[in-house]
Amino acid sequence: MKKIYYSCVALLFGAMFSNVTAQPVTVVNGGFEKGIEEGWGKDKNDGSSASFEEATEGMKEGSKALKVYIDVLGSNPWSIQIKNEKWAVKKDKSYAVSMWMKDVSEGTDNVKVNFTAGMSNGVDTWNEGPRLNDTLISKEWTKYTIYFSPKAEDIAKTDFYAYMSNHFVAKGIVLVDDFTVTETQIKGASMSADGKKLIVEFIQNLNAPKDADKASFAVKVGGVANAVTAIAQSATELNKIELTLTTTVASGAAVTVAYTPGTLATTANVELTAFTSDVANGKSGVSLFTKSASAISVYPNPASEVVCIKGVSGIVSVDILDLSGKLVKTEKCNGTFNVSSLRSGMYFVKAVNASGKSFVSKLSVK
């Protein structure tokens, strides 16, 4: 399997959104740090043969992981599986359900899994949601994600709970680590077949952009800026935004996108991320990035010379972007910065502190 490299870019949201970002959901022992028993169910039925062991070397994070040996497959696809259950989900929310896996098989074995999530009473009803079906696991640590929106009728049942199940459907050896569940609105991203449009897909529908000429999306291809000339909601799929690019993107190029607040009205708060895209087949890998920017105050506003940052200390640098998302100026900062060289107009200020946390504000330059 081709290894995909991600370059994370924090996407920034302003005061027009409610103060809700991608929130982690508490799961029991998602990283196996408490061993391989607590929080995890493990099955090997219907004539199958498998073993589940604690791994203390080669893990993705922490000091432990789960190592699964799949020797003999059973008579059905769920004969060998691991389960994590009874984490809390809410009505009208969507979730990114993620697990890191690495195939460490010997010889010609290649592990495949069916990765799924849903709602169940744990006895006789399993309302399965999305799944990754017959997915070949990479020989490198790779994050596998499904997007899960619980049905309202399942949420209403007091005896139902959310679950994740990972079925092993091919022989081999696999390491498993860092299972997480996160509230989210972003589903994925891809390029159009001709490489001219970047398509960002959300779980829920969007309202139309407020001003297509001032949409603040900044796109880079291989680290080089590729200007966005137009932004539009898809005419047929209201959960998608189409960004028209100046330069056609070549197949397999690494693409990153950043959103600056103030120009996209959505039906729910969203958090975008960096991603890579393979133009040739329209597929992309998405890596969720949960460190959203916080709002700050700048004064005076409007300003013509020195601007002060209010409400946060320890700022070391600022980026100033125009309303198209283009970087106009970067400078070191100890709480103040100068805008006398800028043209009159509206800008976004992204301030970064010594620990790498980002803060954002609008600024009018006169």
pLDDT tens digits, residue range 239-292? 888 888 888 877 666 677 765 544 444 444 444 444 444 333 344 333 322 233
Matching residue, tokens 């991320």: 273
Percent of the chain surpassing pLDDT 90: 32
Residue 322 pLDDT greater than 80, yes or no: no
- CATH fold group of domain 24-183: Jelly Rolls (2.60.120)
Its CATH class, for the domain covering 294-365, is mainly beta
Name 3's Cβ contacts closer than 8 Å, sequence gap at least 6.
138, 140, 142
- Split at pLDDT 50, 70, 90, the class of 293 is very low
Q: Whose CA is closest to 71, among 84, 80, 82?
A: 80
According to the model, what pLDDT value does residue 326 have?
A: 66
Mean pLDDT lowest for which of 45-54, 64-73, 309-318?
Answer: 309-318
Per-residue pLDDT at 26: 92
Which of 31-45, 85-99, 119-133, 191-205 shows the highest mean pLDDT? Answer: 31-45
Q: Reply yes or no on whether the pLDDT at 224 is more than 90.
A: no
| Predicted local distance difference test score (pLDDT) of residue 84 | 96
Element housing 154 (H / E): helix 152-155
* pLDDT for the residue numbered 251: 64
Partners of residue 40 on adjacent β-strands = 84
The dihedral sign for the CA sequence 214, 219, 225, 229 = negative
Instruction: Mean pLDDT check: name the lowest of 81-90, 269-278, 291-300, 342-351.
Output: 269-278
Mean pLDDT computed over every residue of the chain = 77
Q: Do the first three CATH levels of 186-286 and 294-365 match, i.e. the same topology?
A: yes
| pLDDT value of position 323 | 56
For residue 186, the model assigns a pLDDT of 64
Band (pLDDT 50/70/90 cuts) for residue 101 is: very high
pLDDT number for residue 70 = 97
Q: Which CATH fold would you assign to the domain 186-286? A: Immunoglobulin-like (2.60.40)
User: Tell me, what's the pLDDT at 73?
Assistant: 96
Q: Confidence class of residue 215 from pLDDT cuts 50, 70 and 90?
A: very low
The 3-state secondary structure of 203-241 reads: CCCECCCCCHHHCCEEEEECCEEECEEEEEECCCCCCEE
More confident site: 3 or 171: 171
More confident: 17 or 98:
98
The tens digit of pLDDT for each residue in 164-214 reads 999 999 999 999 999 999 877 666 667 787 888 888 777 777 765 544 444
* Mean pLDDT value of segment 130-146: 88
Average pLDDT over residues 6-29: 44
pLDDT in tens, 34-68: 999 999 999 999 999 999 999 999 999 999 999 99
For the chain, what are the domain ranges?
24-183, 186-286, 294-365
CA distance readout (Å), 32 to 48, 76, 220, 225, 330: 24, 27, 37, 41, 42
